[in-house]
Chain A
């Protein structure tokens, strides 16, 4: 790797915008944790469920018993506060990363793209020298965050370049129509043409906004559009903290000294500007650090594209769908019942998963094939524990997807108890009907 590039990446710059990013991000994380607890979601998502849908490779991870999950979230809140204040920021970022990601990995039913974004940003913050006393930060830190934020938008836009989104305006057509009584814009939402216009505009926005934010003259307009976009989607759809997180994260595209300029404009005391740092007065970025960055962003570039390895419509089969910034892309609802057959006696049991799962889990698992498989394995284990080892488990799973008539998702003849989860393609998922 070119020594000049490594030197350029290590060149110190004003850390003000990075410090502001850390403070805002920590603050939003703290608010998210408080909101999560206030809504009763700690109990609803992690204490009450008797069963959790494990991520592949993380089945060993379990919620803490007793009051453990509440203490876990309390610790997360304290770590987020420390991160916001810049107190032992690396330790705080590490604690936030471990505590937050632990929660995120407990149950697939609670997966959200912006939770994943939080984990990824925490990983980057962990590597950055952003303590309260740091007046400067290396250039790579600024560009790493810009690239990370930009990738979210870009891949979200890339994922929208598909027939459902561009030609059929789905799922926006389904989502906008119920908002006919939205103030001012409601009558417009009831018109199908609006969904088409907003679909195209949304795809163009996602694809273009990172580049426009990088351009000095376009930046104010792009940021205003970004605030409008997130404000509108936040008002229309139940997407929680996502608009706030992305709106604050986009501030990283402004010049590194924007907090100083803002304070000056507000007439508040401003810390002294950093003096000019000669380009040759610092060590180049280490090879190991550069390799770590390359590895991180290599993964960030490949993960959103991995669904191409599976073929078909990844919105339907969901292979390669998570951790890929496929945001607001599908409207799916599902119904699943299981037929559990004891081969020894020939007895067949119908199982409605709603009986044993929370409403959130039942809703999510009904249209996600890997979760349908997980629960088939859980049923096999439960029946074995009841003295019926080796049961066959088949699923009658139906899904309505982006306005199409409902159709079978899973091959009803396949014994899911014998199928293993993993990264390989799942042949028991039926192809999407046209």
Chain B
């Protein structure tokens, strides 16, 4: 049996966990290729027209996996909540049902992950997932523990301010990290507040990170901030923010502001993103208080490279002048 994993949305956040879990259990997996024009096109055909582009891309990846007819099932967890007080995103909650309605023929392996119901139920979801693939209880627990360890290792690497891509290659090749990744102090530093599926998807983000690197700028992403820090700092808002990934963005931004880690902030959001539309405003408000310049980049399927480059260059030039 081959299980397909769409390379979209939460894949970018949890891939070390899922990939190792399936490897330990002994299930073959096939991850869809990085987003390309054809996948986006497929997504645009299949998905609702008003929905946000990352979800459209997710549809595209599923359609790609279905079209190739190699996979027997698609793994599509329902990430309801990954921490007790907050939800992920409403669209993550409805995603398995949406995919089921659009692709009625493909088998979908889904499991609810809801931390709100308590740690026991949350972790037992993994065990249940393992047993659906025919593993016995002990194998499933072992697979989960091993996957969890790899995931924690990945998070630790990220917390040392190693860029996501470098950390990913370290996890994949199991080589020790090199110090070259740690940014030079003289360089301009930029914080990028964005969801992993927006910036690490190179086709969708129009190579935003590479463009920044080419301009000689070092950057930090919310993944580089430890969980306990962003979780604590995001509670500074007068009202508790009930989306986990948005809390991560806000908390990380607060951390960068306070530690004076960054010279400027870039907020990358996708068009029609619900939570981001509100959080972007709040973050802009807060950035003003700290005197940090902020650029908001809205991406969608029509975003053009030239327009993005112009805006980035202008922003970076402005920051450089400000720093001198």
| A, B bound | no
Interface residues of A (CB under 8 A from B): none
Interface residues of B (CB under 8 A from A): none
